Amino acid sequence: MSRDKSALSRWTIGVVLLIIVVLWTAPTLGILVTSFRDSRDIYSSGWWTVLPHKDLVKTGEIELPAETDPDGQIVVEGYSASFEKWRAGIELEDGRVLRWFGNKRSRTIEIYEEKWVGFGANLTLKNYRDILSTGEVTHEDAEGNIIVRQANNFADAVLNSLAVSIPATLIPILIAAFAAYAFAWMEFPGRRPLFIMVVALLVVPLQIALIPILRDYTRWNLSGTFLSMWLAHTGFGLPLAVYLLYNYISTLPRDIFESAFLDGATPYNIFVRLVLPLSVPALASFAIFQFLWVWNDYLVALVFLGDKNRVVTSALAAMVGEKGQDWHLLTSGAFLSMILPLMVFFALQRFFVRGLLAGSVKG
């Protein structure tokens, strides 16, 4: 009886986890697929239509005579109907669908037939080329109209985000590693009160410091510069970094430090040759946190950088306002903003759990 209950509970947990995974990944998959779809397809069907299915496929065109009056009855292959009906599409007896393309001036009838459409039909890289370009981009809307827009030069935003995120991740790691080593293994006056003050800074809200810091940046002509972002993210990230690294470094075996001292190693040599290599899991864990926070940050970038050096989050917010109907561009930009954080996480994830559990178990 207990075995049956255990098996049922495992199956229940497995099914619940599967449902959560599907619900969690489906929107991301939808963004990925939509970012590769043609703009006209996005307006006319859902992203799941890229899977094999039966659909109307364009197989030809009929050019109507120039004297055709679109305001009257239009006759095509023996069928007479108004422009509105041809625009909506008329199904013939043989299963074909005739549909007027564009506006009344086009005088073009498109022929559609129902066929099996394989996986990945009509996928294109044009959306990514448009989002990364600097000139004008064009696409067709649902009515077949040609839309011309000014590109957002998303490539510059990606480079700006890298210019902010990489130093804003490395600088606090380096400073926090020195501080954590000192708090863990060096004796100096006021060590405990100083560590308590550092930990207490974890509860200070980010928002209360933005305006005072911005006033100082304005006085020092740092507003709108990358240096302002590096300093801000370093200050906001140091308390957690020191606390996380301290928990790990304090658990390192004392014997290796004593042996190094007996061999004549200085505290600096011990830090560089022993502490840093042994603390890679904790360093990688904080690097993941800090990089994701800085890369996805919008508030700090909006306050300190503004539009002078747009980062990815600011560029996406601007695109929502300027190109709110251009889903092919929005999804391409959104997925570009997700690629690098995912690469960083998967590259360092093997250290992630080890770094987070550091100091939780004493041997």
When mean pLDDT is compared across 29-43, 56-70, 111-125, 212-226, the lowest value belongs to 111-125
* pLDDT of the residue at 321: 64
What are the residues whose beta carbons fall under 8 Å from the beta carbon of 131, sequence distance 6 or more? 151, 152, 154, 329, 332, 333, 336
Tell me if 310 sits within 8 A of 157, measured CB to CB: yes
Q: What is the DSSP-derived secondary structure letter of residue 64?
A: P
Measured distance CA(44)–CA(46) in Å, rounded = 7
Would you tell me how many other CB atoms lie within 10 Å of the CB of residue 100? 26
Most confident of 53-62, 146-155, 332-341: 332-341
pLDDT tens digits for 222-278?
Answer: 888 999 999 999 988 899 899 989 988 888 888 888 888 888 888 888 888 888 888
Of 336, 297, 330, the C-alpha closest to 316 is: 330
Mean pLDDT over each residue of the chain, to the nearest integer: 82
What is the pTM assigned to this prediction?
0.73
Token output for 233:
């993210």
What are the residues whose beta carbons fall under 8 Å from the beta carbon of 90, sequence distance 6 or more? 79, 81, 97, 98, 99
pLDDT tens digits for 119-159?
Answer: 556 677 888 888 887 776 676 665 566 766 766 778 888 99
* pLDDT of the residue at 173: 92
Beta-bridge partners for 338: none
Q: Which residue has the tokens 């939509």?
A: 34
Beta-bridge partners for 149: 137
Tell me if 149 sits within 8 A of 137, measured CB to CB: yes
Measured distance CA(169)–CA(176) in Å, rounded = 11
